[in-house]
Amino acid sequence: MRLAVIGIGLMGGSLALTLKRKGFVSNVIGVDNNTQHQAEALALGLVDEIMTLEEAVKSSDIIAIATPVNIAEKLLPTILDLVDQQVVFDVGSTKESIVQIANSHSKNGRFVPTHPMWGTEFSGPSAAQQDAFLEKATVICNADKVDADALQKVEALYKALGMHIVNMDAIKHDIHVAYVSHISHITSFALANTVLEKEKESDAIFELASGGFESTVRLAKSNAAMWVPIFMQNKENVLDVLNEHISQLRKFKACLEKENFEYLSELIENANGIKRILK
């Protein structure tokens, strides 16, 4: 089976690397407007060849759209225009908008909307990792609108990656990821800006910022070109969770201002309840 990867970065590169080495695909075609990414992907062995979008779609059996979500939306109608029996799937972090675009196309059954729940703060072909998806979840949205053979092929692909599949409505997906993923990135960006604004001595940040700070602010290294479109597309859900987050921060602030340490302890103990879910 021949795989075309549109966007040879962290996600697309990791998909290509793992699927090729597991023997799920025999050949990987790369498509990327960035010539440096093209060269890196070839040098790293992530892809076997580089083609134009039209050439890649027509030469492949399955097409992975691994670009930022705003670009994926623009590319999808063109890709669906070109497909015959090929299968197309995306890996974007928002689903409602791209599902709506797909549903307006006559070949929407060939498109499987997915979101593998894995990522790092790094980007580009050199960030690709083998077996990165192992034992992680992937969400497949609106499976009832997808052709049976297309769904079966994408499910087999994710199982080859070692992932377990969660089926979910696209609208519900976007709500849930706002709470468990998107707010984490906003919090990390804001914390990094806070520290950079208040702490003027970079040596002090480097020397003193150990485990807790480093793990919390890690996501602040993430690429704006990827995350701004995600926040734009999921704006309403992100605003909802952001308002709740600000409300929680105000509670902590009020406890300190009023020296209400008993309530502060209650807030922390209540937060400890996350241990029941994340062990």
Hey, how many other C-beta atoms are within 10 angstroms of the C-beta on 79?
25
Nearest to 99 by CA among 70, 141, 139, 64: 141
Strands (E), the chain: 2-6, 27-31, 49-50, 62-65, 87-90, 111-116, 137-141, 164-168
Looking up residue 227, the CATH number of its domain turns out to be 1.10.3660.10
pLDDT in tens, 120-148: 888 899 999 998 999 999 999 999 999 99
219 and 256 together in one domain = yes
* pLDDT attached to residue 196: 85
Nearest to 2 by CA among 31, 30, 25, 32: 25
Last residue of a domain, one of 140, 169, 198: 169
257 and 182 together in one domain = yes
pLDDT in tens, 141-178: 999 999 999 999 999 999 999 999 999 999 999 999 99
* pLDDT attached to residue 198: 78
Query: Contact, 7 vs 71, CB < 8 A?
Result: yes
* pLDDT attached to residue 277: 77
pLDDT in tens, 76-98: 999 999 999 999 999 999 999 99
Percentage of the chain lying above the pLDDT 70 cut: 96
Last residue of a domain, one of 127, 150, 169: 169
pLDDT in tens, 205-251: 666 666 677 777 888 999 999 999 999 999 999 999 999 999 999 99
* pLDDT attached to residue 199: 74
231 and 269 together in one domain = yes
160 and 70 together in one domain = yes
* pLDDT attached to residue 207: 67
24 and 36 together in one domain = yes
14 and 149 together in one domain = yes
3-state SS, residue 3: strand
pTM over 0.85: yes
20 and 146 together in one domain = yes
83 and 23 together in one domain = yes
DSSP string, 158-220: HHHTT-EEEEE-HHHHHHHHIIIIIHHHHHHHHHHHHHHHH---HHHHHHH--HHHHHHHGGG
pLDDT band at 108 (very low <50, low <70, confident <90, very high): very high
155 and 190 together in one domain = no
* pLDDT attached to residue 86: 97
* pLDDT attached to residue 210: 65
138 and 180 together in one domain = no
* pLDDT attached to residue 211: 64
Phi-psi region of 16 (alpha: psi -120 to 50; beta: other; left: phi over 0): alpha
Question: Between the CA of residue 33 and those of 2, 39, 68, 181, 231, what are the distances in Å?
Answer: 20, 11, 13, 28, 23
Averaged pLDDT, 22-44: 96
> What is the count of structural domains for the chain?
2
Averaged pLDDT score across all residues of the chain = 93
Domain range enclosing 257: 173-276
Reply yes or no on whether the pLDDT at 63 is more than 90.
yes
Q: Which residue has the higher pLDDT, 202 or 111?
A: 111
7 and 138 together in one domain = yes
Core vs surface per residue 161-178: b (16+ CB within 10 A) or e? bebeeeebebeebbbebb
Averaged pLDDT, 190-215: 76
Looking up residue 42, the CATH number of its domain turns out to be 3.40.50.720
Averaged pLDDT, 190-201: 83
* pLDDT attached to residue 279: 67
Last residue of a domain, one of 169, 184, 212: 169
- Give me the amino acid identity at 142: N
pLDDT band at 278 (very low <50, low <70, confident <90, very high): confident
Reply yes or no on whether the pLDDT at 200 is more than 80.
no
Interior angle at CA 112, CA 71 and CA 180, nearest 5: 70
119 and 189 together in one domain = no
